[in-house]
């Protein structure tokens, strides 16, 4: 667990409680204490774990969040429309470093997505070398034809416009039009393109699990903070 030693104004601002210029006013309005002693001086250096605001401990210094993404939430900081970050508390949206999704899900895809302000972790889990498994529940337009499992498992399927075949993926049939698909890569629109390549169309896509995490017990649009990675 981190416990940085920083000026109180800089620290509160990096956690999104107030901007540095608002810190003086913030310290007047809220009971910011260090080991129980109230602080008014914005220059004071503090350890994260010693600070309380109105008797509550600070938000964690580093956040890792598991969200059950609802349909329509966009995994981007720049796009117009309903961004996934608007589901988080306002304060978390002002944190520096920013909270970002670990990889992306399409706007209409629901399910498990991690978000973090830990750039190193984000890079590690999204790097092409990372082999984190992702489990999807896929609802299809047409009934499966029977050869998909073998084609996906072969490690030879080439998506249109790509030079490198996909790594083997595991498919499990749930019904004629619903399957579970486990992949370890994260190529652009990968699941939709895989089913496109076998003459089908995805009508609903839900990510059940990302690595060791799954969204069982988390409602759509809800999230929980994970302790650490
Ligand atoms: N594959 C897709 O096609 N879309 C997603 O959102 C995730 C994986």
Dump pLDDT digits (tens) for 169-204.
999 999 999 999 999 999 999 999 999 999 999 999
CA of 60 to the centre of ligand 1 (A): 30
Mean pLDDT of the chain: 96
- Residue nearest atom 7 in ligand 1 by C-alpha distance: 105
> 164 and 97: one domain?
no
Q: Domain with 152 in it: what CATH number?
A: 3.30.70.1560
> 86 and 101: one domain?
yes
> 181 and 165: one domain?
yes
Q: What is the pLDDT of residues 121-168, one digit of tens each?
A: 999 999 888 889 999 999 999 999 999 999 999 999 999 999 999 999
Q: Which residues line ligand 1 (CB under 6 A)?
A: 105-106, 109, 189-192, 205
Q: Domain with 22 in it: what CATH number?
A: 3.10.290.10
Alpha-carbon dihedral angle through residues 152, 156, 157, 163, given to the nearest 10 degrees? 150
Q: Give the span between the Cα atoms of 153 and 167, in whole angstroms.
A: 8
pLDDT at 97 over 90: yes
Please tell me whether the overall predicted TM-score, pTM, comes out greater than 0.85 for this model: yes
Number of domains into which the chain is organized:
3
Residue 129 lies in a domain: no
> 78 and 105: one domain?
yes
> 73 and 48: one domain?
no
CA of 120 to the centre of ligand 1 (A): 23
138 bridge partner residues: 179, 205
Among 17, 39, 57, identify where a domain stops: 57
How many residues belong to the chain?
229
> 193 and 152: one domain?
yes
Residues 6+ apart with CB under 8 A from 169: 152, 153, 181, 182, 183, 184, 194
Pocket test for ligand 1, best of 67, 190, 200, 202 (most atoms within 8 A of CB): 190
pLDDT at 2 over 80: no
Among 13, 32, 57, identify where a domain stops: 57
Question: What residue numbers bound the domain in which 30 lies?
Answer: 5-57
Q: Which atom of ligand 1 is nearest to the CA of 104?
A: 6
Pocket test for ligand 1, best of 159, 189, 197, 206 (most atoms within 8 A of CB): 189
Residue 145 lies in a domain: yes
Q: Domain with 81 in it: what CATH number?
A: 3.30.70.580
**Is 106 an active-site residue?**
yes
């Amino acid at each position: 667990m981190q416990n940085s030693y920083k000026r109180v104004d800089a620290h509160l601002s990096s956690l999104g409680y107030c901007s540095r210029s608002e810190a003086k006013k913030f310290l007047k309005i809220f009971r910011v204490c260090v080991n129980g002693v109230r602080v008014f001086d914005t220059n004071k250096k503090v350890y994260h774990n010693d600070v309380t605001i109105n008797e509550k401990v600070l938000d964690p210094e580093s956040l890792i969040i598991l969200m059950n993404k609802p349909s329509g939430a966009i995994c981007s900081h720049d796009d117009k429309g309903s961004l996934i970050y608007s589901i988080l508390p306002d304060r978390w949206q002002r944190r520096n470093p920013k909270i970002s999704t670990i990889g992306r899900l399409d706007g209409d895809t629901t399910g498990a997505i991690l978000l973090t302000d830990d750039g190193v972790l984000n890079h590690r889990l999204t790097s092409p070398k990372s082999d984190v498994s992702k489990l999807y529940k896929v609802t299809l337009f047409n009934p499966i034809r029977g050869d998909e499992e073998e084609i996906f498992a072969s490690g030879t399927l080439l998506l249109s416009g790509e030079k490198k075949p996909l790594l083997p993926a595991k498919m499990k049939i749930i019904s004629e039009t619903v399957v579970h698909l486990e992949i370890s890569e994260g190529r652009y629109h990968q699941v939709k393109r895989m089913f496109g390549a076998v003459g089908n169309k995805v009508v609903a896509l839900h990510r059940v699990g990302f690595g060791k995490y799954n969204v069982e017990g988390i409602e759509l649009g809800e999230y929980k903070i994970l302790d650490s990675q």
